[in-house]
A and B are shown apart, each in its own frame.
Chain A
Amino acid sequence: MWPVTSTEAGTESPAPADRREPKWRFGSVEALAALLIGVVIFRGPISSGLSHAALATWTTVFIAIVTQAMPFLVFGVALSAVIAVFVPPSFFARALPSKPALAVPVASTAGVVLPGCECASVPVAGAMMRRGVTPSAALAFLLAAPAINPIVLTATAVAFPDNPEMVAARFLASLIVACAMGWLWLRAGKTEWLRPPSRPSFEGQSRAAAFWGSVRHDVVHAGGFLVLGAMAAATLKAVVPEEWLQAVAGNPVFSVLALAALAVLLSICSEADAFVAASLSQFSLTARLAFLVVGPTVDLKLIAMQAGTFGRGFAARFAPTTFAVAVLVSVLVGAVLL
């Protein structure tokens, strides 16, 4: 048996002396109730306001992204709660090589076993860090898991029936990006960029209470940022005309950059992005490989979720670097394999 440890117990300042409050005040429950009543009352005007074709399209895409991601998010959150509560730190100490430089590739390859998309890997990587996994290995896992798991690779093979080398290229390029970012973090990363986990201490709670506390905390945080990312992605889907892409498809440099940027903006789940890439047939295979390698590692909803889980300072450094590394590796792997 092992104790349920706390990572931040005692870091909060003690309570102010005058904490006496009136019995009733307008708190968040009341605000939420008022909001719900207001929306139900004004349901008619809200619905008719959203019935314009462009707004209805926006709302449909917005709901679609949130609905599609929710099972994976909940699955990832439950798994991360299990890691946080039931898996002792000694498990990771045994499972991963003690040298961080070796732990990075091992953790990247371990991404094969998490059959989900990027929404699941953010909370799981957060839980791994809190359980003592070296950040570089947890980050390598974060980047590798959504791109190289069997479901995503199968989807890629189905989407590119005439180009089986695309599956190998995707696997290889994503693995290289994950390892490169892990090693880069090892050399250049600073712990203070990572916000200390802002989760309540589970000390002194029963296992069940700690499990549900972790689930609630992660859903409310990561879920909120998922909504933010889905709003941004729906806006781009409803606003940016596809003709713009057509204009850059012919230029080898611009086409790679354009599809890499599109992957960031569209924030499509990694299990679906291969089908979208296949439909962008006016682009070169290398440009589409960049789309498939960048998408699971950097996109709007992922950046929002990373900022929520690891802090804004982290996301502001990590996302652009990952983007640059992913584009570079895609071009190199594309040149060799495609």
Chain B
Amino acid sequence: MNRQAQSVILLLVGGAILRASVTDLYLRYVKEGLRPFLIAAGVLLVAAAAATLWYELRARRDAPEADHDEHGHKHTGPWVAWLLVLPVFALLLVAPPALGSYAANRSGTALSETSDFAPLPAGDPVTVSVVDYATRAVYDDGKSLGGRRVKIIGFVLVGDDGAPYLARMILSCCAADARPVKIGLDGAVPTGLAADSWIEVTGRYTAKSTKDSVNDGVIPYLDVEQLRQVAAPTNQYEE
């Protein structure tokens, strides 16, 4: 790969990263906090592409017969540079969705043990995250949940047994370390919930729980009073 082609590659990679980070596309793959760094990296790559092309054209103008090289051999870049077009295509043309039920079914529920629980905020129903509800239900035995009505948003996961679960993937860094947290649905649950559809459930804590078949992790249940379909949130992951 010669230098003009390398500058095109740099431009493509930088452009793809800029496009993903100025829109909300990047949220499908990495955390929100990475955005300024992605923009900076994209700008630097585009600048490197422009600089490469500029020096290349100037070298050609100064020595058109010299075949733009410094010491008498053709500058063929590494073959591996061609691979850089793959993330560009994947990001600009395919743009796969955030991880959902397929990935969540393959991994065990991932709750980390916590011991201090702040009281629930005010509100009826009070909106809590999937992780928050599951942690309070499992490690606080639902004490800090009491009899309060809670509202949780997540996607539908259909287990091996055909039963629906409410799940959310949690990210620490990027989708490569995404792990699911799952909540079983008990009570007023309609049948035939489609996997990966987003729902908002309102309900109360129940002592019922089950074991995840993948890692024996505890999956708490929610006694559902209301359930409705909602649009997927902008950031589909939880922290």
Interface, chain A (partner B; CB < 8 A): 9-10, 12-15, 19, 21, 27-29, 31-32, 35-36, 39-40, 43, 46-47, 50, 53-54, 56-57, 59-68, 70-71, 73-75, 78, 155, 159, 161-162, 200-201, 203, 208-209, 212-213, 215-216, 219-221, 223-225, 227-228, 230-231, 233-234, 237, 241-243, 245-246, 266-269, 271-276, 278-279, 281-282, 308
**Residues in A whose Cβ lies below 8 Å from that of B175:** 60-61, 63-64
- A216, B28: Cβ atoms under 8 Å? no
Interface residues of B in 167-196 (CB under 8 A from A): 172-177, 179
For B, the interface residue count at a CB cutoff of 8 angstroms equals: 77
B38 at interface, CB cutoff 8 A: yes
* Among A21, A47, A56, A219, residue most surrounded by chain B Cβ atoms (within 10 Å): A219
- A219, B45: Cβ atoms under 8 Å? yes
**Residues in B whose Cβ lies below 8 Å from that of A231:** 83, 86
Instruction: Provide the bound-state CA to CA distance between A223 and B91, in Å.
Output: 16
Closest to A240 in B: B106
Assuming the contacts A242-B107, A242-B215, asked whether A64 and B34 have C-beta atoms less than 8 A apart, the reply is no
**Residues in A whose Cβ lies below 8 Å from that of B71:** 9-10, 12, 201
10 extra interface residue pairs, beta carbon distance < 8 Å, beyond A63-B28, A269-B173: A39-B93, A46-B94, A57-B99, A216-B51, A220-B6, A220-B81, A269-B176, A272-B174, A273-B177, A276-B172
- B173, A32: Cβ atoms under 8 Å? no
Minimum CB–CB distance for A328 against chain B, Å: 26
- B215, A282: Cβ atoms under 8 Å? yes
Closest to B59 in A: A209
- B26, A67: Cβ atoms under 8 Å? yes
Closest to A223 in B: B84
Interface residues of B in 58-115 (CB under 8 A from A): 67, 70-73, 75-87, 89-91, 93-94, 96-99, 101-103, 106-108, 110, 112-115
- B177, A162: Cβ atoms under 8 Å? no
**Residues in A whose Cβ lies below 8 Å from that of B82:** 224
Instruction: Provide the bound-state CA to CA distance between A29 and B99, in Å.
Output: 35
Minimum CB–CB distance for B172 against chain A, Å: 3
- B174, A65: Cβ atoms under 8 Å? yes
Q: Which of B8-16, B147-155, B197-205, B226-234 contacts A (4 or more CB under 8 A)?
A: B8-16
B137 at interface, CB cutoff 8 A: no
- A28, B73: Cβ atoms under 8 Å? no
Instruction: Provide the bound-state CA to CA distance between A281 and B112, in Å.
Output: 8
Minimum CB–CB distance for A287 against chain B, Å: 15
- What per-residue 1/0 map shows which CB atoms of B101-137 lie under 8 Å from chain A? 1110011101011110000000000000000000000
- A276, B177: Cβ atoms under 8 Å? yes
Which residue of A28, A67, A216 contacts B52 across the interface (Cβ within 8 Å)? A216
**Residues in B whose Cβ lies below 8 Å from that of A228:** 80, 83
- B93, A65: Cβ atoms under 8 Å? no
* Among A63, A73, A209, A215, residue most surrounded by chain B Cβ atoms (within 10 Å): A63
Minimum CB–CB distance for A207 against chain B, Å: 12
B145 at interface, CB cutoff 8 A: no
Instruction: Provide the bound-state CA to CA distance between A172 and B86, in Å.
Output: 39
B1 at interface, CB cutoff 8 A: yes
Instruction: Provide the bound-state CA to CA distance between A253 and B114, in Å.
Output: 28
**Residues in B whose Cβ lies below 8 Å from that of A215:** 44, 48, 51
Assuming the contacts A19-B67, A70-B17, A223-B13, asked whether A64 and B29 have C-beta atoms less than 8 A apart, the reply is yes
